[in-house]
Amino acid sequence: MIFLIGFSEDEVELVRNAFGDVPVYEIPEECRGWILSEIIEKADSLKGSGNWHERKFFLMHDLSNEEIKDALRKMKSLGFRGVIYATTTPNSLTMKLDELIEEWLEEDEYFRQLRKMKKGPYLNIGSS
């Protein structure tokens, strides 16, 4: 299962077409206070657009490592950039969506800073 937040109607259609047999759901804004496991249980009955957040989130549930790698390749080939990718964990399934979004945003910022630091510029202090 794949869950989307922040994708436009056209983008959702693009993702659904690319993933064929894998169910793709949008998470509407009304689910922000829900526990993630509730959202997954009620996926078939979720109504409304998932295009309510300024960032794009791509949440994978119950996919194997190979399926996750394949999903990331497909998303890259579709030209999506700046998407926050996440997979469900036993812990995340017990958390509210709002809390998870906050955590995903913090992790994304941490990794952006890390990548920026790895690119430089570096100060060469103390070497002769």
- At 56-111, the pLDDT tens digits run 999 999 999 999 999 999 999 999 989 999 999 999 999 999 999 999 999 999 88
Closest CA to 97 of 22, 25, 14: 25
Q: Is residue 123 part of a domain?
A: no
Q: Is residue 63 part of a domain?
A: yes
Q: Is residue 41 part of a domain?
A: yes
Q: Is residue 122 part of a domain?
A: no
Q: Is residue 79 part of a domain?
A: yes
**CA pair distance 98, 121, nearest whole angstrom:** 35
Instruction: Note the pLDDT tens digit of each residue in 5-29.
Output: 999 999 999 999 999 989 999 999 9
Q: Name the band, by pLDDT with cuts 50, 70 and 90, for residue 121.
A: low
Q: Is residue 18 part of a domain?
A: yes
* pTM for the model: 0.88
**Domain total for the chain?**
1
Provide the residue range defining the domain that includes 13: 2-113
Q: Is residue 59 part of a domain?
A: yes
Q: Is residue 100 part of a domain?
A: yes
